[in-house]
């Protein structure tokens, strides 16, 4: 299989992934760099919408454009950093409060 030659370095997947990761770390750092529970390993930190409207926004923006938007609105208080566990707990609690046709199972 022939390896594709890229005309512009910025189109290379490795370059774009590195660019995304750099921007993501910048956003996480500006949002405090750790979850409210104290967890700070950036590999498991996620950018969360405080008002739980992330699904709507992901339909329009994702990747670097989303991170740029977060950086512009960093002072608005719309976003926070949560670890994966806290984010899923928040999601389960939000769905339990406002069911949208989905059944939330508790063990």
**Is 102 a member of any domain?**
no
For 33, list phi and psi in degrees, rounded to 5.
Answer: 80, 0
Helix (H, G, I), strand (E, B) or coil at 17: helix
For the chain, the domain total comes to: 1
**Is 35 a member of any domain?**
yes
**Is 4 a member of any domain?**
no
- Distance, CA of 78 to CA of 99 (rounded, Å): 22
| Residue 79 near residue 49 (C-beta atoms within 8 A) | yes
**Is 37 a member of any domain?**
yes
Count of C-beta atoms within a 10 Å radius of residue 3: 5
**Is 82 a member of any domain?**
yes
DSSP E strand stretches across the chain: 45-49, 79-83
Domain that holds residue 80: 13-97
Q: Is the pTM of this model over 0.85?
A: no
**Is 86 a member of any domain?**
yes
**Is 69 a member of any domain?**
yes
Each residue's pLDDT, cut to its tens digit, for the chain (107 residues) gives 666 666 676 667 888 899 999 999 999 999 999 999 999 999 999 999 998 888 888 888 889 999 999 999 999 999 999 999 999 999 999 887 775 555 555 54
């Amino acid at each position: 299989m022939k390896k594709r030659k890229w005309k512009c370095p910025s189109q290379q997947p490795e370059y774009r992934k590195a660019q995304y990761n750099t921007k993501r770390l910048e956003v996480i750092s500006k949002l405090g760099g750790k979850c409210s529970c104290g967890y700070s390993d950036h590999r498991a930190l996620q950018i969360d919408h405080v008002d739980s409207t992330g699904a709507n926004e992901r339909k329009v923006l994702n990747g670097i454009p989303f991170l740029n938007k977060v950086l512009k609105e960093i002072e608005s208080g719309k976003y926070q950093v949560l670890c994966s566990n806290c984010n899923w707990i928040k999601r389960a609690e939000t769905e339990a409060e406002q069911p949208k046709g989905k059944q939330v199972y508790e063990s």
